[in-house]
Amino acid sequence: MARLVAVQPQQRNPSFSLLPPSSLSDFNGTKLLHSQLQCKRRASQPRGGALQVSASSAKKILIMGGTRFIGVFLSRLLVKEGHQVTLFTRGKAPITQQLPGESDADYTDFASKILHLKGDRKDYDFVKSSLSAEGYDVVYDINGREAEEVVPIIEGLPKLEQYIYCSSAGVYLKSDQLPHFETDAVDPKSRHKGKLETENLLESKGVNWTSIRPVYIYGPLNYNPVEEWFFHRLKAGRPIPVPNSGIQITQLGHVKDLATAFIQVLGNEKASKQVFNISGDKYVTFDGLAKACAKAAGFPEPEIVHYNPKEFDFGKKKAFPFRDQHFFASIDKAKSVLGWKPEYGLVEGLADSYNLDFGRGTFRKAADFSTDDIILGKSLVLT
């Protein structure tokens, strides 16, 4: 039988130090109104008029993953809401870490309440038996990629109240008509086909599910080279190579806004068996994103070099972090149905990411300008 372990607070990561409490980047400043959360709760009105949420409203929640990026912010919100939160991970990374902008008291309180279930989600027998022994009310599946990974979770939790899945807007079929809506055609051959198959499986199993489809996610701790790719080049004072015209339109959503969306579908009847696109309010061109990163981080406006990717052989290396096409989605459904809206504008959100991460000397991948040098070393650039 699996053993549930209460997590001891980790020593602060030496590469992260705290910003002053007044920083606008403090995650504690995220606007979350209890009236927006739509959770099924029993409330009592004690003497004095303050609204109290009773213990019976708390849910026993399992997060599959939760130590790298999205789950770091989601788990904090869930704990603040009074839920019992367990992270299911392989235990290779610290279960908690103190974030810049997070006070010692807030971190200690959070870390003392997080539980950890160590295991490999590919070990289906272990997953089924350990979850069955614990009996969770809600599952947030943040790192699921294939439908078969979900089966033992559902089988181990026959009384599960809600399965909330992190899918991807990458499941949509490429189209000339944008933005993508939740009802648009999907691509069963996309590299995200496993997420699409998971959505279909959840529907076929008759569970109460909700699927969130982010576009590009950015923010502090981002392990994908999205904003970090631009920050490396800006810091080095290098030109920024952008494929083709640079007017390709894309969309980014801040991780903290994504976390609040995950909160607002919890226990929400309007979210039952529904898909929601989640991202930022505005779309941006590739050139515009390069300029926005510079503005957010306090660098001069960059030199942008356009090139034709077909004229170069980069081998297996990726010369640019975004798909070379228009790619953006409507978030109107989440706004109208959930009452959710992103709190971060693009430049403000990029500043939050820079100030809490790259600007403090931390990043996930070291700078690699080898493909840039190939591009800049040839005359095959667009003018």
Give how far Cα 179 sits from Cα of 2, 65, 169, 282, 283, Å. Answer: 45, 30, 11, 11, 10
What is this structure's pTM?
0.86
CA-to-CA distance for 233 and 79, rounded, in angstroms?
37
Q: What is the overall mean pLDDT for the chain?
A: 88
Per-residue pLDDT tens digits for 9-20: 554 443 332 233
pLDDT at position 186, please? Answer: 97
pLDDT at position 12, please? Answer: 42
Cβ atoms of 292 and 176 closer than 8 Å: no
CA-to-CA distance for 226 and 252, rounded, in angstroms?
9
Per-residue pLDDT tens digits for 26-58: 343 333 333 333 333 333 333 332 222 233 389
Per-residue pLDDT tens digits for 162-189: 999 999 999 999 999 999 999 999 999 9
Upstream peptide bond of 152 is cis (omega within 30 degrees of 0): no
Give how far Cα 65 sits from Cα of 88, 269, 280, Å. Answer: 6, 25, 24
Banded model confidence at residue 382, pLDDT cuts 50, 70, 90 = low
Q: What is the mean pLDDT of residues 219-233?
A: 96
Pair of tokens at residue 263: 């909160």
Q: CB within 8 A of 110, min separation 6: which ones?
A: 75, 76, 79, 96, 102
Give how far Cα 203 sits from Cα of 150, 190, 191, 207, Å. Answer: 12, 20, 21, 7
Q: Are strands 284-285 and 249-250 parallel, antiparallel or unpaired?
A: antiparallel
Q: CB within 8 A of 22, min separation 6: which ones?
A: none
Cβ atoms of 333 and 2 closer than 8 Å: no
Per-residue pLDDT tens digits for 116-141: 999 999 999 999 999 999 999 999 99
Q: Is 109 helix (H, G, I), strand (E, B) or coil?
A: helix
Q: What is the mean pLDDT of residues 64-76?
A: 96
More confident residue, 43 or 152: 152
Per-residue pLDDT tens digits for 304-359: 999 999 999 999 999 999 999 999 999 999 999 999 999 999 999 999 999 999 99
CA-to-CA distance for 49 and 13, rounded, in angstroms?
41
